[in-house]
Every structure is written in C-alpha cells, then in structure tokens.
Amino acid sequence: MLPRRQDLSSGSVRRGSAVLPSLLTFLVIVASGGLLLMIEKGMLSSMETPPPRGAGRRQDLIRSPAAVDVDAQILQEIRNRTIRTVCRQKNMPHSVWSLSPLQRKTLLQHVLVNDQYRFLYCYVPKVACSNWKRVLKVLNGALENVDVSVKMDHRSDLLFLSSLKPEEIRYRLKHYFKFMFVREPMERLLSAYRNKFGEIESYQKKYGVEIVTRYRKGLTKEATSVKGDDVTFGEFARYLLDEDSERMNEHWMPVYNLCQPCAVSYDFIGSYERLESDSDYVLQRVGAPPHVRFPERQTWYKPVTTETLHYYLCSLPQKLLRELLPKYILDFSLFAYTLPNTTTEHCRH
C-alpha cells in the first residue's frame, strides 16, 4: 500500500522541509513573480548583478565565450539571493551532514560524480537528466558520443556520491563544481504524469492501480478490470497531496528534496527553459572537450506546451490545486517560478 498523507495537526515538522511562518510572505512574493516584477519596474536597477557563481573563468575555457546573457545573469542572481535568504534560517539544513538520514540518502543517490573534470551534477528526473547522463558517459569514455543509439541504463557507468566514503564526499563537495537543472514545477509534474501513466506499464501497475482504486468510487484493488493505465490528472494530483514529500517517487518528488540546495552550495542552477544555452555554459565551465555537446531533443519527444499545461491545471478543482501548490512552494520560490493563475476568469480563456 502507498502511504497516505501525514497528519500535520500535531505541529511536528521534519527538519529542513518546513517553511517558517515568517518566510511565507517572502516566499509567496518571490513565487508569484514579485521579484521579477521589481526588476521589470527598475526597482533593482541600482543593484549590481554579478554573473553566475564560477563564471569568472569563462574566458579561460577552450570554446570561444558567447556574449554576456544579461537575462541569464539576472535569473541566477534571483535564485542565489533567494536561496541564501531562505537557507540562512536556523531550521534549514546548512550542510549535507545536518540532513536527516533519509534526506541525505536521497540527495547522495541523486548526485553524479565526474572526477576527471571535477564536477558534481544533481540529476532531477523530467529535467533532461537522461541526456545529461549520456554526456557523463561520453566524458568517462563509456559512450563514443551522445548520439549512440542505445537504451539508457541509468545506473551503469555512472559514479554516484552515495557510493563514496564520507571523507571522499566532503572533499568533492568542497572542491568540485556543482550544478543542477530545474523546471517549472507543475510542468514537470504534468510531464511525469503523461510519461509514466500514459506510456510505462510498470508505473501503471505499481502506482496507477493503487491511485485508481484509492480515489475512484466503486472500485476495489481486487477489481480485475483495473490496469492503472487510465489515471486522470485529478486523481494523480490527489495522490500527490496525500504523499509524504520525502518518500515520493523521484519523478514527482520536489526538486528541493532531491537536491537540497540549502545543504549543498550549487555553483550553477540551469533551467529547462534555457536548456541549450545553460548546458553549453556548464560544458564550457567544466572544461569539456569541444566535441562533447549536449544532445538534441529527440523527434518523438512531446513537449509540454503552455496551452497543454493551462488545460490540465484548469481541469483541476481550484481547491485541490490550492492545496497542492504548497507542497512545491520551495521549488516555485527558490528557483523563481511564478505560481500558476487558475482563477475561473483565467481558465475561461
């Protein structure tokens, strides 16, 4: 049986996963685009906006430097300042070793290591992580190039931080370039929903059957007609609402829980929306050979469009969405994503 929603009435909160009441206003302002609006209005024009951390060595890299991307720098600075502000709160984790055993295990299992180019990559499912794993396999010699037609093995020929000793972990966290990629939270959820419940039989059997029998009236788990291949987005949302964020499947676990940006000081946080340019920057930054490039998107890939996301979110009861969003509020706020507008008026259009 999948675990049901935790009882929060007791007021007990896991360390590092709570949001201080005093921060709620700040987080909502950031998540709702308030900081971006301030930039647009020129309210931050007097502030210096340095390049992403670690960008100073760019001119020393093999590839010729591209023109300065002001938008990218502003976005990095928004994220850096927001993360610093939130993470300095005393109830937030300040190192990998201050995490709970479960939190630390999840993190270390999602950080990939490359010792030759001295970098750590925290992978986030549904944020181009398969392609990044291909890149890592090319860099370590396991693949000839990123276009080799092979079924992706997500474990072989990859070194995970979890397989190293504590002193080895400490050294790499201190000295290696650390990066991750993020995506608009609801778009990532929709991508996971369409992929796992629309295409992957193992997910339909493991999660789909449980979700359908739990949330669809008149069904029992013994019903032979239930295959789990027709989970609605609303049923999926209710399931997410009832799940413990720290024990979710990695494909819909909040990015905050996967990569712990308060416990790990990332040098660069790339965006799915700027995947090509941000990936190219990372490859330059770590000194990858010029022939190593980030893979192009497959022709069969079905992107989540703005219109598609709007349709699915507007199909949810507003109350359900309002209850679900706080589960991902740190992903919205820390990574500067605007909360979706699903008012009745907005959903008519």
160-173 pLDDT per residue, tens: 999 999 999 999 99
Question: Where is pLDDT greater, at 349 or 6?
Answer: 349
The pairing of beta strand 177-182 with beta strand 159-160: unpaired
Least confident of 30-34, 50-54, 72-76, 292-296: 50-54
Contacts of 83 (CB under 8 A, 6+ apart): 261, 262, 334
Q: What is the arithmetic mean of pLDDT over 291-309?
A: 84
pLDDT of the residue at 298 = 66
3-state secondary structure 209-250: HHHHHHHCCCCCCCCCCCCCCCCCHHHHHHHHHHCCHHHCCC
pLDDT of the residue at 70 = 86
Q: What is the arithmetic mean of pLDDT over 177-187?
A: 97
pLDDT digits (tens, 9 = 90+) for 32-70: 444 444 333 333 333 333 344 344 333 333 344 444 578
The CA distances from residue 26 to 19, 83, 93, 274, in Å, are 11, 12, 19, 26
* Cβ neighbours around 105 below 10 Å, total: 12
User: Is the model's pLDDT at 255 over the cut of 50?
Assistant: yes
- Contact of 94 with 87, CB cutoff 8 Å: yes
pLDDT bucket at 175, cuts 50 / 70 / 90: very high
Q: What percent of the chain has pLDDT over 70?
A: 77
Domain definitions of the chain by residue range: 21-186+258-307+329-343
Q: How many CA atoms lie within 13 A of 294 on its CB side?
A: 18
Backbone φ and ψ for 152, nearest 5 degrees, come out as -70, 120
pLDDT of the residue at 32 = 43
- Contact of 131 with 292, CB cutoff 8 Å: no
The DSSP symbol for 109 reads T
Average pLDDT, the chain: 82
pLDDT of the residue at 28 = 47
pTM of the model: 0.81
